[in-house]
Structure 1
């Protein structure tokens, strides 16, 4: 297909976005899908962010989607999640939670468009039963150290038998000064890594059953700890692969 043919096809099949109703064809395409992946052509572009937020609002309100998963770190996004679901002690204004994002690029989520969407989501959730409130979660695995500290805090309070594994995992990474690049390069130069430590930690957290299994609060805390352990294991694997030069990188 020539560039002229490609341009002509785009002109025939594209439709302008001027108002929320212009998204109707996309909502029709979604149908009964349980997962919808929404992207943007560039990070930080206000117009993309506004339309992404509008589409997500409609997916939540009209299609009943139960959570929003974003390209952000789990620990940071969990603070936003607690705000939008109205958790006890969480910021009443999601802006406060978003302003706490500390890892570059903070502007990907700490921006006016996401603040507006998060405020809408909090208002939407206010009319729902707690178990039906729509969450906001991060999928990225870059925030290794915050996730390790979160797991350490959880096991210290709920599963002290697993403290040695948590401390050993954190201790293994200490020489690298919270620098993923330093850890990645070191793991390439010497045949040693922290893989065994984080895998052991993940195994322990998965296997343990601390707290009441009928207590919604306890179950949520356990879920959060497991996700942070998953992040730690995934981040360690990612940083090693990053410098390997092979297909995994």
Structure 2
């Protein structure tokens, strides 16, 4: 878990789209995700998932092995949703597999939900893996979100990582001492970890806050302002999402 969390921040700071406009990446993510989610056909969300994945892998240069691990949870959730809807939701039986009835309308709905999940996730993954969190919150502040809200959210985000890192350090320390070698030892080690985790996280958080104060923290975390989206960025978004909307209009009637 620790490696996954560190990698998200690492790739957000080290990718080929790092210096691109934050506003451009946020607009592309949000608009494309909305188109994907509202689509009544699975074709457009599937296209979004494929295109965003290609951008992540070949434009942002995110390693394919890491992206596969990163998308494993939503992919598994989507497959589970597809299976459950196929066999347990619907009114139009189509076939029987090992005593379970396959519903054609359930399968159709499951495919739609699965494609929406992957389309929406790929958009969020694009933003998360190419843009540092502090720049996202800074851009939200420029859009009118109250500064207090963005700073609290950023501190909470950092605190979550402190909590997870402490849990990972304690777990690996116990594991190297055979703390999880048996059921009894596992319960004992888990209890010790849970009992000390809050205290250690609290102390670590205090240390982080004192470090911030020693670096002149005054209640805000300024970020280097990137170049604006510009006409070229706006044109790219209009062209990209315009083609998706056009495809949505053409495919909606055929699916319905």
Q: Which has the higher helix share?
A: 2
**TM-score, with normalisation over the residues of structure 2?**
0.28
Q: Which structure would you say has the larger RCO, counting Cα contacts within 8 Å and 6 or more residues apart?
A: 2
> Computing the radius of gyration over CA atoms, which structure comes out larger, 1 or 2?
2
**TM-score, with normalisation over the residues of structure 1?**
0.28
